Structure 1
Amino acid sequence: MKAINKWSIGVAVAGMMLSSCTKNFEDINKSPVISDNAPPELLITQAVKGIVDRDFDWFYDAYTYQMQWMQFGVASPGSSSTGLFSPTNTNDFYNAFYKNIGRNLVEIENVVAKKPAAEQGQYANVVAVAKILKAYSAWRVSDANGSIPYSEAFAARSDANYTPVYDGQEKLFGLWEAELKAAITTLQSGLSGQAALGNNDIFYTGDVSKWVKAANVLRIKLAMRQLKRAPEKATAIIKDAMAVNDGLFKNNSEEWKFLSADNSFARSNNWSMNGSPLSAGKNMVDYMYNNADPRIGIFYEKTSYTKALVDSLIKGGVFPADYQYDERRYYGLPSNPDRRSVAADSIIFKVKRYEMVFTDANGKKVVVRREVDTVSAVQRRLFDLDAENGNNNGARYTQPILSYAEQCFMLAELSVRGIISGDAATYYKNGVEASINAYDAMGREAKIQDYTPLDQATVVAYLAKPDIAFTGSTDVLLEKINIQNFLNLLKSPWEAWGAWKRSGIPKVGGILAFERMQVSGQYVAVPRRWALPQPSLANQVNWRNAIIEMGLSGEYGNEDNDFTGRVWWDKK
């Protein structure tokens, strides 16, 4: 396991936070070393830290599996794709929720409850924000695990219950909806004398109007997860959310995201792709290049084949004198692992090492050896501020949680499906523009080398491309919307994974073609969930009951480590 990167976001972190190195509920719920008089607004920092300081997840979940499953990236030439469909060292957000994130958020409620009645009211907004963060974090855990302990998970301190039940997703979605809606009601009540979160809130610095929007858009997203399983319930939630006053993001400045305060965050260690180098996926980069997608330079790096290098290779005798320079500098690798063993394709999976021979001024032969990138790498600087030789003066890291662009794509889809009113074409256009502008900002903040600032004329041209333009049958429109939503989620690959499972887009033979995966000649299914972690012996009965219950649908899989099985919302 790689070393954990140090946390630095430029905000004060309370020194009385909780910590644990066990996933057993009896240990998680031991009395924390924390003062009953600790200001609750300070306690939120450790929880939000746990949501974004996820370098372990990035290295193992994202780089090693999710980004390759979703074909954003492919194991680079010289690397191996062995084990791609047998994930290990994954799902650490599950443990983080119980060890840190969730229990710190619950502790905020406990600390407030212990204060004198006359003082408790001033923390209503703080508790409401904590509930939003808890609902989001629990949903993220459940989204790929299924049933999880929630309603009883943090009650051991009060009732010594060290064997919490596992709540099924149908129940969980109802609990989260109630909590989010209650939090919105509180935050919109205009309560006076409220404790200020300030810089302890790394997302919105305590701006309750923005938290209302984040919670309400999250309600829509969670409802869309349920459209196949509980369409009437999901539709009612969506319509209710659309009626909330000032309850939607208006632009990128209001979206839920983290922007580091300086360049000391997300540097090397597990943030780095060096241990799991990724090249561009061929279908992805071809789609973006052929449609002149303005985000391509933020998603992927150019190959090493500059005009100067090609001229040197010609002069050094590697390439023939009539070799034609290719101005295209974005190429990807096939995602199918078996393509590495196909004779016609194997050459592109090899590391290219050239030996050039020159004659110096004295007539002496000089040999120069070069290793050249013949395919584009995933843009490392977007994920690791130490990439590209660490020249990161003033660079900042961005992590979207719930974006304005994603909201627009959800509304476009809901409009096409007739669930909400509004012009689907406008929602779609706004989403594409918002995504492109958001990634442009990410690229500038990360100080990607040789980055070309966005020209808005390219956005207009992009929207007019046949594969992008909002034209076609209902099925085609839904496919185009979900392709754009999928692309927008590159920086949150766990969300792209979820979006793909929900929509089935990208798909084999689609506008953005999804490549079928083969290993040793056999087609293999892309995993759809994590294995639900096994608890301590005391709670294994509840754990096993949860697995049996999830299996009743016939889609979860017969074994708890069947990664191709489906959780409740992921209905066929």
Structure 2
Amino acid sequence: MAAAGLLFACDKQDFVDINNNPDALNSIPPENQFLNATTGIHGQDFEYYYDVYRRIMPWMQYTTDVNGNQGAFTQNVDNFSQRYGRQYNGVGDRLYDLEQLVLKMDAATQPRYTNMVQIAHILKAYYTFYVSDIYGAIPYSEAFQGRYGGTLQPKYDTQQQVFAALDAELKTAIATLKQTPTTPQISLGNYDQYYKNDATKWIKAANALRLRIAMRVLKADAAAATPIINEVLASPAAELMSSNADGWIFKAIYSFTGTDANSNWNPTTLRAPKPIVDFMWDKKDPRIDAFFAPNGFNATNIALLVKAGKLPAGTPVPARRYVGSFTDPDVSRQAAIQQQYYTADVVDGVTIDTLSYLQPNLWSAGINSKTGFSYLPVITYAEFCFMRAELATKSLGTGTAKAWYEEGVKSSILWYDEIAKGAQAPDYTAVTDAEITAYLAMPGIAFDNAKALEQIASQSYLNFFKQPQEGWALWKRTGYPNATSVVPLPTVKNLGATLVIPRRAPLALINETDPNVANKQAAYAAMAALPGFGNSPQDAAGRVWWDKP
């Protein structure tokens, strides 16, 4: 964890010199750029404030505003998305720099950085995929090269081309990392916040990423995706994730995600959503207290209410203290609903709320204490299991859908147990094996082959609570959850009109003075020709290439 501090210990003059003299890059250790890129990916408080907390999570009903979802909230795409700019100023460019730093070394030294370069390729592939995933065509094959004598007007690669290039890079990285080095390797060590330079685990991560990308592509180009899926799943077991210890997770000290109410990471105004809370309560889901905080009706506050004459003497603490907020604006604005659920009692300066909020430490470990850890997942083992379960329903890979589904549910529960304890979440009780066993036997949870895909997707959706961006992608890719699925995603309305959930990032307006205007115009025109792209480049309800009905 201490390595995160290395980023801020770097000599700022190095970065000044880079902008004036490309040769100054020689003075920066390549591993420094890996850490810079890593924190560039995960340290984005604006992305969480806008993209995650106030856009994707409400759209996917992972949370609501403090008074329930309001008005045409799905049409709010202001300040969305933050990820595109980071690709070219903080992530992709840093990882490209890493490789260029190695290429500037003498021929005898370069081979000592072979594994480091390939690990950087894996990380760059992830973030490039993350950006293209919601934007479609982006500059890639000619990007990042301006500082090194390349073009300052890079062409845009289509999403299909980007995804194919990323798979090829990942495949090469895996093959290289599998080889025994011919010369001792320079280790990333603590500069690698994920796996501490463990090549075996990076191979597993790269294979999981290949699988995630291929599953995005499956509807759009099955002929391209299916061989990749078969190839990954035919890999030796040692090259595939097999436990939560293999998960691709960024883990940092509590302060990484803020420590006070003014932090953009602060989730304390975000309500727990009624559909998920009701489901988890009814099914006795062991993750409920990892996801959400109990409402204000504890013994101390009930005593205050009794003393104030607002409750009769002897009122017990309610058996249920997890109560969700209404996700439908037309419901949440009803006067009776507002009075019953959104009008908190205030006694002696203490606000006693009927509704639950998100579990704050799950998102910002430093909010309630100055200890513990922050966890920011890239690909969890549970996601890998759910991908395999879904593919098993299509007779792809080994093992049964039931076995992979149950392994996914177990590993998800245990992972949330690990991070809730690690983040020192208040009001959290550790999970027991008996709870997991009972949960897997619950109606709607116990595997039903007739509802296999629905159940797998519903549990994937819950597992993506800490990765709402992937929950959004899951919904686009599978159609689950929906209004009638095991875990429901109810239709939301404003003034009687059904609201449309966005499906991609609105593209920036074209500026005629942009030096790369010709390539941008050509890319926009090509995307506009794709079925379902939308009424304009700014139409967030449109679809990118992989997002097929």
Shared fold per TM-score greater than 0.5: yes
Quick check: 1:270 aligned with 2:264? yes
Aligned match for 1:399, one of 345, 365, 376: 376
Aligned to 1:221: 212
Aligned match for 2:476, one of 475, 496, 501: 501
Residues 31 and 287 (structure 1 numbering): CA distance in 2 closer, same or farther, change over 3 Å? farther
Aligned match for 2:278, one of 275, 286, 301: 286
Shift of residue 369 of structure 1? 5.1
Alignment of 1:421-500 (within 5 A): 421-473=398-450, 476-500=451-475
Shift of residue 325 of structure 1? 5.4
Aligned to 1:15: 10
Residues 264 and 161 (structure 1 numbering): CA distance in 2 closer, same or farther, change over 3 Å? closer
1:283-306 deviation per Cα after TM superposition (whole angstroms, max 9, x unaligned) = 110001100000000100000112
1:7-48 deviation per Cα after TM superposition (whole angstroms, max 9, x unaligned) = 983446672689999xxxxxx997557332543233211111
Aligned to 1:24: none
**Contact 1:152 1:165 survives alignment (8 Å):** yes
Q: CA RMSD in A?
A: 2.4
Shift of residue 156 of structure 1? 1.9
Once the two structures are overlaid, the 10-residue window that deviates more, 131-140 or 346-355, is 346-355
**Contact 1:305 1:372 survives alignment (8 Å):** yes
SS of structure 1 residue aligned to 2:129? helix
Aligned to 1:243: 234
Quick check: 1:387 aligned with 2:367? yes
Residues 39 and 306 (structure 1 numbering): CA distance in 2 closer, same or farther, change over 3 Å? closer
d(CA) in 1 for partners of 2:403, 2:266: 38
**Contact 1:44 1:105 survives alignment (8 Å):** yes
Q: Tell me which amino acid in the other structure corresponds to 2:390.
A: E
SS of structure 2 residue aligned to 1:260? strand
**Contact 1:279 1:375 survives alignment (8 Å):** yes
Once the two structures are overlaid, the 10-residue window that deviates more, 216-225 or 516-525, is 516-525
Aligned to 1:3: none
Residues 465 and 372 (structure 1 numbering): CA distance in 2 closer, same or farther, change over 3 Å? same
**Contact 1:381 1:387 survives alignment (8 Å):** yes
Aligned to 2:525: 548
SS of structure 1 residue aligned to 2:4? coil
1:542-564 deviation per Cα after TM superposition (whole angstroms, max 9, x unaligned) = 22222221121221112111111
1:504-555 deviation per Cα after TM superposition (whole angstroms, max 9, x unaligned) = 1111122111111212221111111111234662222222222221121221
Quick check: 1:525 aligned with 2:500? yes
d(CA) in 1 for partners of 2:225, 2:13: 36
Aligned match for 2:118, one of 128, 134, 142: 128
SS of structure 1 residue aligned to 2:431? coil
Q: Tell me which amino acid in the other structure corresponds to 1:257.
A: I
**Contact 1:266 1:397 survives alignment (8 Å):** no
SS of structure 2 residue aligned to 1:214? helix
Aligned match for 1:410, one of 380, 387, 409: 387
SS of structure 2 residue aligned to 1:397? strand
SS of structure 2 residue aligned to 1:36? helix
1:351-403 deviation per Cα after TM superposition (whole angstroms, max 9, x unaligned) = 31345xxxxxxxxxxxx454211111011111112323xx23x3111111111
d(CA) in 2 for partners of 1:188, 1:8: 26
Alignment of 1:45-60 (within 5 A): 45-60=35-50
Residues 449 and 148 (structure 1 numbering): CA distance in 2 closer, same or farther, change over 3 Å? same
Shift of residue 421 of structure 1? 2.6
Aligned to 1:328: 320
- Count, aligned residues: 541
d(CA) in 1 for partners of 2:221, 2:486: 29
Residues 19 and 87 (structure 1 numbering): CA distance in 2 closer, same or farther, change over 3 Å? farther
Q: Tell me which amino acid in the other structure corresponds to 1:398.
A: Y
Residues 133 and 339 (structure 1 numbering): CA distance in 2 closer, same or farther, change over 3 Å? same
1:316-345 deviation per Cα after TM superposition (whole angstroms, max 9, x unaligned) = 221356867531001111211222332342
Aligned to 1:362: none
Residues 564 and 265 (structure 1 numbering): CA distance in 2 closer, same or farther, change over 3 Å? closer
SS of structure 1 residue aligned to 2:345? strand
1:45-104 deviation per Cα after TM superposition (whole angstroms, max 9, x unaligned) = 111111111211111111111111111111113895665422111211110110111011
Aligned match for 1:206, one of 197, 214, 217: 197
Quick check: 1:299 aligned with 2:291? yes
d(CA) in 2 for partners of 1:481, 1:53: 31
**Contact 1:18 1:32 survives alignment (8 Å):** no
**Could you list the runs of 5+ residues in structure 1 that have no partner in the other structure?**
1-6, 22-27, 356-367
**Contact 2:68 2:328 survives alignment (8 Å):** no
Shift of residue 434 of structure 1? 0.7
**Contact 1:30 1:157 survives alignment (8 Å):** no
d(CA) in 2 for partners of 1:67, 1:19: 38
Q: Tell me which amino acid in the other structure corresponds to 1:235.
A: T
Aligned match for 1:74, one of 23, 47, 64: 64
Residues 267 and 97 (structure 1 numbering): CA distance in 2 closer, same or farther, change over 3 Å? farther
1:247-279 deviation per Cα after TM superposition (whole angstroms, max 9, x unaligned) = 2111111111011146455333111125xx211
d(CA) in 2 for partners of 1:12, 1:280: 35
**Could you list the runs of 5+ residues in structure 2 that have no partner in the other structure?**
none
d(CA) in 1 for partners of 2:116, 2:356: 45
Aligned to 1:364: none
1:101-121 deviation per Cα after TM superposition (whole angstroms, max 9, x unaligned) = 101111111111122222211
Quick check: 1:372 aligned with 2:364? no
**Contact 1:339 1:346 survives alignment (8 Å):** no
Quick check: 1:151 aligned with 2:141? yes
Shift of residue 188 of structure 1? 0.5
SS of structure 2 residue aligned to 1:411? helix
Aligned to 1:176: 166
**Contact 2:297 2:354 survives alignment (8 Å):** yes
d(CA) in 2 for partners of 1:533, 1:30: 29
Q: Tell me which amino acid in the other structure corresponds to 1:227.
A: L
Aligned to 1:186: 176
d(CA) in 2 for partners of 1:188, 1:17: 37
Quick check: 1:117 aligned with 2:111? no
Shift of residue 175 of structure 1? 0.2
Shift of residue 311 of structure 1? 4.3
d(CA) in 2 for partners of 1:527, 1:302: 31
Quick check: 1:515 aligned with 2:499? no
Residues 484 and 83 (structure 1 numbering): CA distance in 2 closer, same or farther, change over 3 Å? closer
Shift of residue 143 of structure 1? 0.8
d(CA) in 1 for partners of 2:164, 2:9: 33
d(CA) in 2 for partners of 1:244, 1:308: 56
Aligned to 2:53: 63
Residues 179 and 264 (structure 1 numbering): CA distance in 2 closer, same or farther, change over 3 Å? closer
Q: Tell me which amino acid in the other structure corresponds to 1:326.
A: P
| TM-score of the two chains, using structure 1 as the length reference | 0.89
**Contact 1:479 1:505 survives alignment (8 Å):** yes
